[in-house]
Amino acid sequence: MPHTTILGIESSCDDTSAAVIRDGNLLSNVIASQKVHEAFGGVVPELASRAHQQNIIPVVDQALKQAGITKEELSAVAFTRGPGLMGSLMVGTSFAKGFARSLQIPLVEVNHLQGHILAHFVNVEGEEHQNPNFPFLCLLVSGGNSQIVLVRSYKEMEIIGQTIDDAAGEAFDKCAKVMGLPYPGGPVVDRLAKQGNPKAFKFSKPHIPEYNYSFSGLKTSFLYRLRDEIAINPDFIEQNKEDLCASLQATVIDILMDKLRKASKALGVKEVALAGGVSANSGLRAAFEDHAKRYGWKIHIPKFSYTTDNAAMIAITGYYKYQDGQFASMDVTPYSRVVL
């Protein structure tokens, strides 16, 4: 049997990444993160697309070299079509098109969110790994999304719940900003929360129907509490930073897990996966472990290297689409917003 070798390209936000997957096994996954945004407290779209332009060729070159293959051995080029920043997506899309055309091989478009979910199917030779069994639920939580997805197969995914306003990562980042913490705030809150009391402060939780989420109320309740406390004691944040972070994190996790538990119970699905940038959160990971013990869930927690944007997840999704013969045409264009 000839090999199926897929080059994956990811450029949806501020990470330029290329990966090679051969027959479902990861051979390389190279990521160039952009430091240029740190000074601005958030990703600056124009700077992101310029940095992608600079990074894309060296990153692809390195991915091929690390995989120990030549470009002629590739079966197809898979790329992130969206959602993401338009200028950033255009760089990856244009490169993928040009590369596939020059090699006369198929082009495969990948939905970034599907990629995050299918990252659970990336195998590395010699490493112990268990793919999730279908159907499973996936909690997809990042800076732009908070969704519960019912995954029936590699290509059949249904969003059964999602945020009606802010994403969980945004709640972490915005509350961190109010406390004067650097961007992105999520990892900093996670670190400080380890030294704090999660029950020290109470913040509001949403009451919305179904399996949907809302985080804007929490953000407002956090902001108002700080404003009121600072009026009495100007050093309030500094003196309570750890407790504030621990309480904020515990509230976000409670909100996320309540709906996930409800969905698991109602649908009778006990295989549950975690994906997206916020899946790096240590408290959320611990909550998954706890649910596995308490409710008999079989859980899938991603490796840290797959919590941030990466091309391994694009290459594996491309691999399954390639096997299905789902190719993109050469006039394909990126999209900034999308549902699964």
* Residues contacting residue 261 through CB under 8 Å, at least 6 positions apart: 291, 295
Quote the CA–CA distance of 175 and 181 in Å, as a whole number.
9
For residues 26 and 278, which CB has a smaller minimum distance to ligand KG4 in the complex?
Answer: 278
Q: Given the rule CB under 6 A, which of 101-109, 141-149, 206-214, 312-320 is the region that contacts ligand KG4?
A: 141-149
Q: How many CB atoms lie within 10 A of CB 62?
A: 14
When the beta carbons of 147 and 212 are compared against ligand KG4, the nearer one is: 147
Judged by DSSP in three states, 7 sits in strand
CB 64 within 8 A of CB 317: no
List the interface residues with ligand KG4, window 5-44 (CB under 6 A).
Answer: 13
- Judged on CB neighbours under 10 Å (0-12, 13-18, 19+), 104 is exposed
List the one residue from 8, 83, 132, 186 that touches ligand KG4 (CB under 6 A): 186
243 touches ligand KG4 (CB under 6 A): no
User: Which part of the chain contacts ligand KG4 (CB under 6 A), choosing from 65-73, 97-105, 139-147, 295-303?
Assistant: 139-147
Give residue number: closest CB to ligand KG4: 277
Which of these ranges, 32-40, 183-191, 236-244, 324-332, lies near ligand KG4 under the rule CB under 6 A? 183-191
* Position 115 contacts ligand KG4 (CB under 6 A): no
Q: Is 83 in the site for ligand KG4 (CB under 6 A)?
A: no
Q: How many Cβ atoms from other residues are within 10 Å of residue 65's Cβ?
A: 13
247 near ligand KG4, rule: CB under 6 A: no
| Binding of residue 144 to ligand KG4 (CB under 6 A) | yes
Q: Which residues, 6 or more positions from 115, have their beta carbon under 8 angstroms from its beta carbon?
A: 10, 80, 313, 314, 316, 317
**Residue 142 binds ligand KG4, judged by CB under 6 A:** yes
Give alpha helix (H) positions in 7-76: 45-67
Interface with ligand KG4, residue 172, by CB under 6 A:
yes
Answer for the pair 185, 252: CB distance below 8 angstroms, yes or no: no
For residues 37 and 321, which CB has a smaller minimum distance to ligand KG4 in the complex?
37
Q: How far is the CB of 140 from ligand KG4 (least distance, A)?
A: 9
Phi-psi region of 39 (alpha: psi -120 to 50; beta: other; left: phi over 0): alpha
Interface of this chain with ligand KG4, residues 266 to 305, rule: CB under 6 A = 276-278, 280-281
The verdict on 215 binding ligand KG4 (CB under 6 A) reads no
Rank residues 106 and 184 by Cβ distance to ligand KG4 and give the closer one: 184
| 17 backbone φψ class: left, alpha, beta (φ>0; ψ -120 to 50) | beta
Cα(250)–Cα(237) distance, rounded to whole angstroms?
A: 18
- Examine residue 143 and tell whether it contacts ligand KG4 (CB under 6 A): yes
Residues of this chain that interact with ligand KG4 (CB under 6 A) are: 13, 142-144, 169, 172-173, 184-187, 190, 276-278, 280-281, 308-309
